[in-house]
Amino acid sequence: MPPHHKRAHAQRRSSSRMAGLLLASIAALLSTGCVRIGAKPPSTLLTISTQAEAPAGETVTATREQALFIDLPTAARAITSLRVAVQDSPTSFAYVKNALWVDSPARQFQSVLAETVRVRTGRLVLDPGQFLARRGQVLEGNLLEFGVDAASKRAVVTYDATLASPDGQQVMRQRFSAAVPLSRIDANSVAPAISQAANEVATAVADWIRLQN
């Protein structure tokens, strides 16, 4: 065998041995649970839930002009992440340890708000993201607070609602806020209190919309 062929053969054998050792090492580590793929998962995943659920099988019909479109609210920077915000002072925030939301606060609140408005008003409620054209009434808003106020030990949700008529000629705006006391600020306590505050705000918004029609 020519010398250059011998060198190439030896290199291939060396590469094969290294690949085999690497695979064996990975298999051993996986069997002992020593390999972590991605970031360490949080201890607790949190969510909020609506207290006003539409009955299964219920059908609501309306023209596009009669429908109500509820936009995804814009959110303050402190609550755009999946971490649970705790306001320490007027100028600083911390986050609840070992806890994450399963979805963004804005999307969770939009879901609770839409379901609550549907149940309390009987309106056909639609998500603008599902339709190319919006011809009905439109509810937009800013989610200003969705977390914990450390000084008062309360869960706080604050939402600025803007309701526009189908023709866009009339616009109304109102702020809604609710606070629920907390015994402790930890991963087990914050979600139920924030959920309660979010439902109180959603109920107040739904009743306000009903009064406008």
Q: How far is 162 from 150, CA to CA, in rounded Å?
A: 29
In the numeric block, which tokens belong to residue 128? 């603008």
Q: How far is 115 from 129, CA to CA, in rounded Å?
A: 16
Q: Are residues 21 and 62 in the same domain?
A: no
Q: Residue 37's pLDDT is what?
A: 42
Q: What is the pLDDT of residues 76-98, one digit of tens each?
A: 999 999 999 999 998 899 999 99
CA dihedral 49, 53, 58, 59 (to 10 degrees): -60
Backbone φ and ψ of 167, nearest 5° = -90, -5
Q: Are residues 50 and 34 in the same domain?
A: no
Q: How far is 12 from 6, CA to CA, in rounded Å?
A: 10
CB-based contacts of 7: which residues, under 8 Å, 6+ apart? none
Q: How far is 126 from 67, CA to CA, in rounded Å?
A: 7
**CATH code, domain carrying 69:** 3.40.50.10610
Q: Are residues 156 and 207 in the same domain?
A: yes
Q: Residue 25's pLDDT is what?
A: 52
Q: Are residues 199 and 123 in the same domain?
A: yes
Q: Are residues 50 and 31 in the same domain?
A: no
Nearest CA among 2, 91, 93, 101 for reference residue 49: 101
3-state secondary structure the chain: CCHHHHHHHHHHHHHHHHHHHHHHHHHHHHHCCCCCCCCCCCCEEECCCCCCCCCCCCCCCCCCCCCEEECCCEECHHHCCCEEEEEEECCEEEEEEEEEECCCHHHHHHHHHHHHHHHHHCCCEECHHHCCCCCCEEEEEEEEEEEEECCCCEEEEEEEEEEECCCCCCEEEEEEEEEEECCCCCCCCHHHHHHHHHHHHHHHHHHHHHHCC
Q: Are residues 191 and 108 in the same domain?
A: yes
Q: What is the pLDDT of residues 7-17, one digit of tens each?
A: 444 445 555 55
Q: Are residues 77 and 169 in the same domain?
A: yes
Q: Cα-atom radius of gyration of the chain, to the nearest Å?
A: 26
Q: Are residues 24 and 121 in the same domain?
A: no
Q: Are residues 29 and 60 in the same domain?
A: no
Under-70 pLDDT residues of the chain: 1-43, 57, 63, 131-134
Q: Are residues 67 and 28 in the same domain?
A: no
* Number of structural domains found in the chain: 2
Q: Residue 114's pLDDT is what?
A: 95
Q: Are residues 109 and 200 in the same domain?
A: yes
Residue 33: which domain range?
1-38
Q: Are residues 103 and 196 in the same domain?
A: yes
